[in-house]
A and B are shown apart, each in its own frame.
Chain A
Amino acid sequence: MIRSLLEWLGNTPWSVRLLESLYAWSLVESTHVLTLGLFVGTAVMMDLRLVGLTFGSVPVSEFTGRLLPWTRTGFAVMAVTGLLLFYSSPLRYYHNLFFRIKVLLLIVAGLNVWLFHGRIHRNVAAWDLDAAPPRAARIAGAVSLLVWALVVVSGRLVAYNWFECDLQPQPELVNRVAGCVLEP
């Protein structure tokens, strides 16, 4: 069901055109990678403030009010370019072990963002100027640092074909996690 949908998606004219283009695909991927400096970069700076490692005298609300819009912009670019890259080769990414790991990590990162902004950050006024924010905020910052770093690493590893379904034999665990469809 999912597979046939993705197979159809990968055969749409624009998907084929993007994958076979001379420069478009590279430009989209370059943008995806370079925007890391904006998106993860500014997120890391805010996380360092949250865990209390640096920027101690800068109010946390200054980060969430004035730097976060840049982080959001970066994320929007990452999402659009990332979806385009997925669109260029849907079935390949669907069965890529590192892509699957990355999607799971993105969900964890998203939950952490939701927890932080939905709950922890609500009473920021009470600890805005604390060089070391409350425990919950420090944990959210640390989780963010770790999970986004793992997202970047797993994203980079998507390019490697060590665990491709097409390159059998693979360990059974790999075949299961990557959802490889094996010919009997």
Chain B
Amino acid sequence: MLLSLFFWSEATWLGTAVRESVWLFAVLEALHLLGLCVLGGSLLVVDLRMLGAGLARPSIAELADYARPWLLGALALSVATGLPLFLSEAVKLYYIPSFRVKMVALPLALLFTFTVRGRVVRNRTLETSARSRLVAVASIALWLTVAAAGRWIGYS
């Protein structure tokens, strides 16, 4: 049932186009990696602030407001490049454990970022708290899992 969806994905014109091109897969991968860079930066700049280990000014909320468009942009770039990469080799990915780990960790990371973390980054004071530190550690751990699982797909 699920597998047939993956077969269908691979047969889409976009999946076929990426698979049959010499350059397209590599270019998408490179852009996906640039997405990782900006995503990492826009998350870390706020997470480190919440840990009390990076920027100490301004407030968590103000910093998160500055970082948000870049976070959203990086997510958009990552999804927009990740989707055609997926389509080009969907059936192979179906059998790769680290792809499954990534597809579980990714929605969790997104959910966490826009719910729990989203509430904590509204803090307008300059103080960090046990809560903000915990949220920062969880955010780093979740996104690191997504990235590490993603990288490991290539070794499978």
Give A residues with C-beta under 8 Å from B.
Answer: 26, 29-30, 33-34, 36-38, 40-45, 48, 54-59, 62-63, 66-67, 70, 149, 152-153, 156-157, 160, 162
Contact = CB atoms under 8 A, between A and B. Distances in A.
Contact of B37 (A36, A57, A70): A36
A62 B56 contact: yes
Given A37-B37, A54-B69, A66-B55, A156 B30 contact: yes
A45 B45 contact: yes
B54 interface: yes
Interface of B: 22, 26, 29-30, 33-34, 36-45, 48, 53-58, 62-63, 66-67, 69-70, 143-144, 147-148, 151-152, 155
A93 B132 CA distance: 44
| Chain A, interface SS category | helix
Contacts, number: 103
Given A26-B155, A30-B148, A152-B30, A54 B70 contact: yes
Given A30-B148, A33-B151, A160-B26, A57 B58 contact: yes
A57 B56 CA distance: 13
Contacts of B147: 33-34, 37
B113 to A, nearest CB: 14
A157 B30 CA distance: 8
A8 B69 CA distance: 50
28 contacts: A30-B152, A33-B147, A34-B147, A36-B33, A36-B37, A36-B40, A37-B40, A37-B41, A37-B43, A37-B44, A38-B44, A40-B40, A41-B37, A41-B38, A41-B39, A45-B42, A45-B45, A48-B70, A58-B63, A58-B66, A62-B55, A62-B57, A67-B54, A152-B33, A153-B33, A157-B30, A160-B26, A162-B22
Contacts of B69: 54
Contacts of B34: 149, 152-153
Contacts of B36: 33, 36-37
B131 to A, nearest CB: 21
Contacts of B148: 30, 34
Contact of B44 (A26, A48, A70, A162): A70
Contacts of A160: 26
A183 B20 CA distance: 32
A56 B155 CA distance: 41
Nearest to A71: B41
B26 A157 contact: yes
Contact of B41 (A40, A59, A66, A157): A40
Contacts of B29: 156
Given A66-B54, A156-B26, A38 B155 contact: no
Contacts of B155: 26
A41 B40 contact: yes
Contacts of B26: 156-157, 160
Given A58-B58, A59-B57, A160-B26, A44 B37 contact: yes
Nearest to A149: B34
B44 A54 contact: no
Contact of B48 (A55, A57, A67): A67
